[in-house]
Structure formats: C-alpha cells, structure tokens
Amino acid sequence: MEDNNKGTIEENKKEKIEISEPNQKGVRTYSVNEKHKAIKAPYKGVIIFGIIVLAIVVLAVSCNNMTGNLVFNSMKTGNNQVDLPEAPYVGTIYVEGTIGPGISDYFGIPTGYQHEWTLKQIDELIADKNNKGLILYVNSPGGGVYESDELYLKVKEYQKTTKRPVYAYFGSMAASGGYYVSASADKIVANRNCWTGSIGVTIGTLFDFSQLLENYGVKSKTITSGPNKAMGSNYDELTSEQLAIFQSLIDEAYAQFTGIVAEEREMDIDTVKKIADGRIYTAKQALENGLVDKIASFDDAKADMASEYGLEDCEVIDLEYTDNSFFGTLLGKLNVKSIKQTSDLDVLMKIVEDNNSFPVSYMCEALQ
C-alpha cells in the first residue's frame, strides 16, 4: 500500500490528475493532463541573429534581381562622396597599403587603398576652384606597375592642369611603387623613421615542382600552342629563353621607373641607377641621396607648404575613402578569418598560390 502511494505521488509530479464527482450511477471519471516544461534555447540569440542576416541577404538578392545591379551595388559600396569645402582648402589624399585595383573583404566590402576612387577624387580636385593644393600622404610598400603608373600620371595631370602645388609626405614607409607615385611632387617630406627607396621591379617568385614530381615518379606534360605559352608553369623547368623573356619585362619597367626618378628629381640617370638597386633607405639616407627634400613631421610638412605657397588661410582637409554602404555599416569591423591550415603542405601550397601569379610590380617584398 505504501509502495503504491509512493508511485502515485511520483506520477502526480509528472501528471495532473483530476477526479470528478460520482455520477448518478456512482461512477467517477479521471482526467490526466501532462505537464510540459519549457525548453530553453541556449543559442536562441545566435539563431535569431543568423535569421536576420539571412533575411537581409535574401532581401538584397531580391532587390538585385528586381531592380538590377544599380541598387545592389549601391547597398554594397555606397556612393563614397566626399563633401568639399566652399572655401579655399588643401586636400590630403591617403595612399596607404598595397597600390592595386582595390581590395575587398570576404563580404565584398572595399578595404584599404581604393584605386578608382583615388583617381576620381583627384579629378574632383582638378575641377574644384576652391582647391589650392594637394598632399599625398603615402604609407605603402608599393604595388602594381599599372596602378602605380596611373596614379603617377593622374598627379602629373593635376599639376599640369591646375598649376597648383603638390607635396608628398612619407609615413612609416614609402617604398617602390609608394615612391613612384610621389616622384613628381614639388617637395617630398619624410618622417624621420620612414623607410623608402626600394627602386626596382619584381615579377615575384616562380616555383618549379618538376624535379619533385620526378622523384615521385610523376610525369607531366603541358599542351601549348608554342614553347613559351605556359612559361612559368610549376610543372616545367624554366628555359634560358623564357628567363630572358621575363627579364626583358623587368628591364623595361625598371627603365621606366629610373627614368621617372631621374626626370622628376633632376638627377643624372647613371646616378639614379647606382642607388636604384632595390635596397631600402632610411629617411636620412634618402635625404643624402636626393630622394627626399626634408625630414619633418606631417604638421611641419603642411606648414611648409602653406608658407612656401602663401596658403596660410587655407584649411587642410583629409580626403579618405569611407565605406558608407548598407552592408559596410551593418557588418562594421567584422573580420572573417580564413580557414585554418591543417598541415605544412597546405601552408606551402598557399604560399605557392599567392606568389605564382607573377605580376610585374613595383613592390618592396620586405615591407609587403
């Protein structure tokens, strides 16, 4: 009897039993209702956030399908318009990071130096009568030959069209392409801790796995329309002819670089070539070699420009690329890390993949 009562008590903890009054025949009815406990969702917040993000992405894709690329691109990149003053000013454009076509993160949001925006911004300065000068703030290890030359030519266009002064200020580094884009400046001022120079050209590192494959009994054959069509392949040894072809690309870009330095710095070409062996110079060494005009702080450089060209009444404003897009605002500083490498071979292959595109570039490898 005692055991039965205990069982009944345990059951009542799980169930709610209702007993009716006896009817005319003396029969009672029983009603049993199970108690359901609320299930806690420890990841409820994460799940809700994920649903919201997914809904936004679906909405963006729907907008893209409905109204075309214009809407989606506006959401993704914004208009990045800079409001220019309605009074005389000097504009500072920042050339920071690798000088390339434009870098985007995992979500396609632009980060770092934005080439097309920079060129367009200089065009805006050319057209603006209130603009009285340009400062290039350079903090870059260099970049692509094409983009470096485009920016150099755009600065030259600014000088030729407006007759306004251009200063270049070197931050912690202004190497290779970073120096190239600054060469035409009316004055180059370097921070005392700046590393600059690295005048030269690189085509990157070519990897040859042909001997490794042979050691493992693996043979490869690349089918091409000509003997030099696949030169630089990981699986074929570089011939002397192919090496000479690559070297000719380097030599032409090098001649262009040293020629610009000689012309803009008013130096003898032979003198330039003696110091243009790719080495990095400190600010003091660069000053001694005629690569910079002054060692000073950024504030001193701005004051020097104002005094030299009578621009004391001009405000110096920063013209920086700002991601004002919908997605940029939404995601903020969110960083998506790359997939962790699981072995030494994975790391090796990643290095090969990153370095084997061999673009000809004005890049300082040590500062990259």
Q: Which sequence spans correspond to the domains of the chain? A: 2-34, 88-324+356-367
pLDDT of 75? 36
Find the catalytic residue in 176, 233, 325, 361. 176
pTM of the model: 0.70
Report yes or no: 309 and 162 within 8 Å, Cβ to Cβ.
no
Tokens linked to 158: 């600014």
Find the catalytic residue in 6, 120, 229, 274. 229
DSSP letters along 12-26, please? HHHEEEEEPPP-TTS
- Beta-carbon contacts of residue 7 (< 8 Å; ≥ 6 apart): none
User: Each residue of 173-219: pLDDT tens digit?
Assistant: 999 999 999 999 999 999 999 999 999 998 877 777 777 777 888 87
> To 10 degrees, what angle do helices 69-77 and 44-67 make?
140
Report yes or no: 144 and 100 within 8 Å, Cβ to Cβ.
yes
Is residue 189 classed as helix, strand or coil in its secondary structure? strand
The C-alpha atoms of residue 304 and residue 290 are separated, in whole angstroms, by 19
Question: Is pLDDT larger for residue 356 or for residue 49?
Answer: 49
- Beta-carbon contacts of residue 269 (< 8 Å; ≥ 6 apart): 258, 259, 262
pLDDT of 341? 43
The fold of 88-324+356-367 is: 2-enoyl-CoA Hydratase; Chain A, domain 1 (3.90.226)
Among 62-66, 88-92, 167-171, where is mean pLDDT lowest?
A: 62-66
To which H or E segment does residue 363 belong?
strand 361-363
Determine whether 229 is an active site residue: yes
Give the mean pLDDT of 161-178: 97
Single out the residue of 266, 245, 269, 246 nearest to residue 257, CA to CA: 269
Instruction: Work out whether strand 30-34 and strand 89-96 pair parallel, antiparallel, or are unpaired.
Output: unpaired
pLDDT band at residue 309 under the 50/70/90 scheme: very high
User: Each residue of 223-251: pLDDT tens digit?
Assistant: 888 888 888 788 788 889 988 998 999 99
The C-alpha atoms of residue 114 and residue 92 are separated, in whole angstroms, by 15
Single out the residue of 121, 117, 169, 113 nearest to residue 144, CA to CA: 113
Among 117-126, 157-166, 308-317, 359-368, where is mean pLDDT lowest?
A: 359-368
- Length of the chain in terms of residues written: 368
pLDDT of 42? 54
